Amino acid sequence: MAMAKSLVVVLVLFLLSFLAYSTTVSHDGRALLINGQRRIIISGSIHYPRSTPEMWPELIKKAKEGGLDAIETYVFWNAHEPVKRQYNFEGNLDLVRFIKEIQNAGLYAIVRIGPYVCAEWDYGGFPAWLRQIPGMEMRTDNKPFKDEMQTFTTLIVDMLKKENLLAPQGGPIILSQIENEYGNIQSGYGAAAKNYIEWCANMAQSLDIGVPWIMCQQADAPQPMINTCNGFYCHDFQPNNANSPKIWTENWTGWFKDWDKPDPHRPAEDVAYAVARFFETNGTVQNYYMYHGGTNFGRTSGGPYITTSYDYDAPLDEYGNIRQPKWGHLKALHAALKIMEKALVYGNYNSTQLENGVQITEFTGKGITPGCFISNSNTTLDATVKYHGQNYFVPASSVSILPECKEEVYNTAKVNTQTSIMVKKRSQAEDEPEELSWSWRPEEMTSTLKGALGNFSDHKLLDQIIGSGDKSDYLWYMNTFDHPYDMDMTLQVATQGHVLHAFLNGDHVGSQYAADGNFSFTFEAGVKIKKGKNYISLLSGTIGHANYGARFELVPTGIAGGPVFLIGDGGMKHDLSSELWAYKVGLNGEDNEIYMDNPNDKWYTDSVPSMRPFTWYKTTFKAPLGTEAVVVNLEGMGKGVAWVNGNNLGRYWPTTIANNQGCELCDYDNHTVPDDHCRTGCGEPGQIWYHVPRSFLKEGEPNTLILFEEAGGEPFNVNFQTMVVGTVCGHVEEGKTLTLSCQGTRTISNVEFASFGNPVGMCGAFQKGTCDSQIALDAIQKACVGKMACSIKGSARVLGDSECKNMPVSLAVQAVCS
């Protein structure tokens, strides 16, 4: 009897523990249901390969502190399966470890398997070897493609299941995605598109993952797939089925940067406005794309012409620092929304339109604390709205949140969070000399310049991704021919980009680089053909392959098809396109792994050259002290790739210059559209700072930086710096508290500006008003100087009386951290 009793106890405990750890995820037309409860889920994208495993716990922790419930990521096929059936899940490709870090932090995960990802990722995540499969047509009703897609998708699902990472197994994954933004381009696939999407849905269902599947930007997604929205705003979006909740998979927090364009920004107020409107209109799951953008390390992370930085103006910056005010302003929004979560998902919806774009939305119900929004969608006209006997000031393009329908706790345009301006500080490694000392070696090109047989040959000019298998950015096209006499001719090469370096008989005859948006160009150079054997060697370089559009995988790169002509007297064209071309994949230095700094490699310390193309440079340096993010300044270099201790930092190209479009002063009062205004860096180099994650560095030992310089550069100004908070500012209404923090180990050394009254202007350019308190600066200096953080209440009791009559009073402060 006692025996049986304890058996029952054990059994009950076992069942309880199973129930406690297993999470059911379902949905109705109103919301996502977690363990049967309707929920709102605030999620943010962090792509694991765009940071390091050492950074993950801190990024996820900051996301959780910022009020997120979930982390979302794509899965990157070409990174995981670079060679058919040879997989890589190591280091920053350790998907399982990433999901487990999310679980350890107590957050949910959303996994967008794709396997097509877009994501400004090389080739949209497709492995180059797919192109070698006979009959292959991607993203359509094509058996070879569907077989490979199913094989990879199944592999990922099995891996997640084996590790118990799905919610019903006790894991954190609550949603998964199949395909990606196919609806945007499916008209390019004709009738087959419909069959393909049906197949995707059935295939996904057959994997039996126990959580809902989503399809973003797929208006005709078949049930039970939930179609979801991507964009800057999603309040007007409606799912295609009454039983599908409203889910926003990509709310763009900013935008990515191209080499020759300025840095895009999206004001925190505008992101907050979009999120508040989404939840005001029955939203249930929303995801920030990106919450942390990170870095395009290595080759395959960066899509066409995308900089190595994938900062995205996200709430966490490229290095993982909190970006203020965006992070804090959204955190306050999440807190306000969470207070009224029950009302939002269980309450009755009642919305009333007032004049000029003002709208009051109430969520009310029996036994539920009500929740309200007052939104002003008028882009120019501020509003004062009377509601239940009170006046609410709701600026143009903003939403006020009233969690109990009584008091405004948040307005999307009223930012109470500090602004932090990051600065770079010279490395403070012990005894680090001012200038690094360099050694060098040439890229060994003799064989490729003089009739090498290469890796293979063909009687045609191949597309570069086919020729190189995407194993390198570089592919040599080499042709040898006899000529009966000396002759001046013109070499003409039509290429689809992105870079061409041409050589005749070992001499460099010219280089050309494509401009963004139009990668095809025709290279021409005068050449001296000699009697006897001649060698034409063309080194073609890519900067990430196409990743978007119908049949994007067919967009050619390299000297695909050419033609290549030698043009002689009287314009006589000799077509070399169908001659025998020998191909060499990659650089000799890549074959020999020069970037690994093998002890046997020969380096020269004498006459370190400047502006010499095709040159390897090497230096050693000490790791900067402290824990702040490390960056290397590559200004002066031309174009190439950088490695630290064998870790690829990505492509560098500081000689590109950002155009002059969109760098107007970004003031939310002017309601700028995120993708054409609010840019910075016009006329400046595309990117000079490159992230060196701390985990790439060795403390107390020499670290090695190796550069492959393709275009010609000057390494003598290269230096290492750390990223720190330089200036902090804030501007709050009377009665609110302003908190200033140096966000690290530094302290406030000086208060440069303080005004309690009617100050004007923005951080960096505040100006005193006409009726400021005389003692505010002194009081704030006392409260803040010498502290890592301080909080000041904008009240006369603390800061002295302002003499402002009948006008709003506010507090503005600007301080320096050091």
Ligand X SMILES: *[C@@H]1O[C@H](CO)[C@@H](O)[C@H](O)[C@H]1NC(C)=O
Distances (CA, A) of 250 to 255, 285, 286: 12, 10, 8
Report whether 216 contacts 180 (CB < 8 A).
yes
Q: What part of residues 437-456 is at the interface with ligand X (CB under 6 A)?
A: 455
Minimum distance, C-beta of residue 229 to ligand X, in the bound complex (Å): 7
Given candidates 151, 520, 660, 774, which one binds ligand X under the rule CB under 6 A?
Answer: 520
Q: Report how far residue 469's alpha carbon sits from residue 669's, in angstroms, rounded to the nearest whole number.
A: 50
3-class SS at 18? helix
Residue 507 touches ligand X, criterion: CB under 6 A: no
Q: Report how far residue 549's alpha carbon sits from residue 118's, in angstroms, rounded to the nearest whole number.
A: 9
Of 101, 120, 148, 250, which is the active-site residue?
250
Question: Catalytic annotation on 553?
Answer: no
- Dig out the tokens for 628 from the structure: 């702040």
Minimum distance, C-beta of residue 520 to ligand X, in the bound complex (Å): 5
Q: What part of residues 565-604 is at the interface with ligand X (CB under 6 A)?
A: 585, 591
Residue 357 touches ligand X, criterion: CB under 6 A: yes
- For ligand X, the closer CB: 731 or 746: 731
Question: Catalytic annotation on 408?
Answer: no
Nearest to 76 by CA among 158, 156, 159: 156
Report whether 662 contacts 682 (CB < 8 A).
yes
Given candidates 360, 543, 564, 763, which one binds ligand X under the rule CB under 6 A?
Answer: 360
Report whether 377 contacts 359 (CB < 8 A).
yes
Stretch that binds ligand X, among 306-314, 518-526, 648-656, 788-796 (CB under 6 A): 518-526
Q: What are the backbone angles phi and psi of residue 300, rounded to the nearest 5°?
A: -80, -10
Minimum distance, C-beta of residue 356 to ligand X, in the bound complex (Å): 4
Stretch that binds ligand X, among 150-158, 311-319, 344-352, 787-795 (CB under 6 A): 344-352
Hey, which bits of 600-742 come out as E strands?
615-621, 630-633, 640-644, 647-652, 689-692, 703-709, 719-733, 737-741
- Packing angle, helices 268-280 and 326-339, rounded to 10: 20
Convert residues 160-199 into a mask of x (bound to ligand X by CB under 6 A) and - (unbound): ----------------------------------------
- For ligand X, the closer CB: 232 or 548: 232
Residue 88 touches ligand X, criterion: CB under 6 A: no
- For ligand X, the closer CB: 155 or 274: 274
Nearest to 536 by CA among 581, 478, 486: 478
Minimum distance, C-beta of residue 183 to ligand X, in the bound complex (Å): 9
Q: What part of residues 259-288 is at the interface with ligand X (CB under 6 A)?
A: 281-282
- Dig out the tokens for 383 from the structure: 């509003």
Of 81, 179, 181, 269, which is the active-site residue?
181
Q: Report how far residue 648's alpha carbon sits from residue 638's, in angstroms, rounded to the nearest whole number.
A: 17
Given candidates 89, 199, 346, 349, which one binds ligand X under the rule CB under 6 A?
Answer: 349
- For ligand X, the closer CB: 229 or 529: 229
Burial class (CB in 10 A: 0-12, 13-18, 19+), 706: buried
Say how many residues touch ligand X, by CB under 6 A: 26
- Report, in this order, helix, strand and coil percent for the chain, each rounded to 5: 20, 35, 45
Residue 483 touches ligand X, criterion: CB under 6 A: no
Minimum distance, C-beta of residue 666 to ligand X, in the bound complex (Å): 7
Report whether 150 contacts 178 (CB < 8 A).
no
Given candidates 518, 600, 607, 806, which one binds ligand X under the rule CB under 6 A?
Answer: 518
Given candidates 350, 598, 661, 767, which one binds ligand X under the rule CB under 6 A?
Answer: 350
Helix residue ranges per DSSP H, 50-173:
56-65, 77-80, 95-104, 143-162
Residue 471 touches ligand X, criterion: CB under 6 A: yes
- For ligand X, the closer CB: 572 or 665: 665
- For ligand X, the closer CB: 520 or 578: 520
Q: Report how far residue 683's alpha carbon sits from residue 486's, in angstroms, rounded to the nearest whole number.
A: 46
Residue 383, H or E segment: strand 383-387
Hey, which bits of 11-89 come out as E strands?
25-27, 32-34, 37-39, 41-46, 70-74
Given candidates 356, 390, 610, 750, which one binds ligand X under the rule CB under 6 A?
Answer: 356
The CA angle 479-483-487, to the nearest 5 degrees, is: 110
Q: Report how far residue 8's alpha carbon sits from residue 246's, in angstroms, rounded to the nearest whole number.
A: 44
- CB neighbours of 514 closer than 8 A, spacing ≥ 6? 497, 498, 499, 520, 521
Minimum distance, C-beta of residue 68 to ligand X, in the bound complex (Å): 22
Distances (CA, A) of 614 to 23, 600, 636, 712: 56, 20, 15, 7
Residue 542 touches ligand X, criterion: CB under 6 A: no
Given candidates 89, 346, 521, 603, which one binds ligand X under the rule CB under 6 A?
Answer: 521
Q: Report how far residue 553's alpha carbon sits from residue 434's, in angstroms, rounded to the nearest whole number.
A: 47
Stretch that binds ligand X, among 63-71, 112-120, 357-365, 530-538 (CB under 6 A): 357-365
- For ligand X, the closer CB: 308 or 378: 378
Q: What part of residues 215-254 is at the interface with ligand X (CB under 6 A)?
A: 230-233
Minimum distance, C-beta of residue 380 to ligand X, in the bound complex (Å): 6
Given candidates 11, 665, 765, 807, which one binds ligand X under the rule CB under 6 A?
Answer: 665
Residue 473 touches ligand X, criterion: CB under 6 A: no
Minimum distance, C-beta of residue 175 to ligand X, in the bound complex (Å): 19
Nearest to 30 by CA among 241, 274, 253: 241
Minimum distance, C-beta of residue 476 to ligand X, in the bound complex (Å): 10
- Dig out the tokens for 190 from the structure: 């004709």
Minimum distance, C-beta of residue 220 to ligand X, in the bound complex (Å): 16
Residue 52 touches ligand X, criterion: CB under 6 A: no
Q: Report how far residue 512's alpha carbon sits from residue 497's, in angstroms, rounded to the nearest whole number.
A: 9
- For ligand X, the closer CB: 54 or 591: 591
Residue 87 touches ligand X, criterion: CB under 6 A: no
Residue 667 touches ligand X, criterion: CB under 6 A: yes
Output the residue with the shortest Cβ distance to ligand X.
231
- For ligand X, the closer CB: 364 or 695: 364
Distances (CA, A) of 504 to 254, 451, 585: 46, 11, 19
Minimum distance, C-beta of residue 268 to ligand X, in the bound complex (Å): 16
Residue 799, H or E segment: helix 796-799
Q: Report how far residue 641's alpha carbon sits from residue 499's, in angstroms, rounded to the nearest whole number.
A: 14
Convert residues 686-725 into a mask of x (bound to ligand X by CB under 6 A) and - (unbound): ----------------------------------------
Half-sphere exposure of 659 (CA within 13 A, CB side): 11
Convert residues 368-407 into a mask of x (bound to ligand X by CB under 6 A) and - (unbound): ----------x-xx--------------------------
Residue 680 touches ligand X, criterion: CB under 6 A: no
- Cis amide bond preceding 545, omega within 30: no
Query: Residue 178: how many CB atoms within 10 A of its CB?
Result: 26
- For ligand X, the closer CB: 282 or 655: 282
Minimum distance, C-beta of residue 347 to ligand X, in the bound complex (Å): 9
- For ligand X, the closer CB: 656 or 703: 656
Minimum distance, C-beta of residue 500 to ligand X, in the bound complex (Å): 12
Stretch that binds ligand X, among 410-418, 647-655, 665-673, 705-713 (CB under 6 A): 665-673
- For ligand X, the closer CB: 471 or 551: 471
Active site residues: 181, 250
Interface with ligand X (CB under 6 A): 230-233, 281-282, 349-350, 352, 356-357, 360, 362, 378, 380-381, 455, 471, 518, 520-521, 585, 591, 665, 667, 670
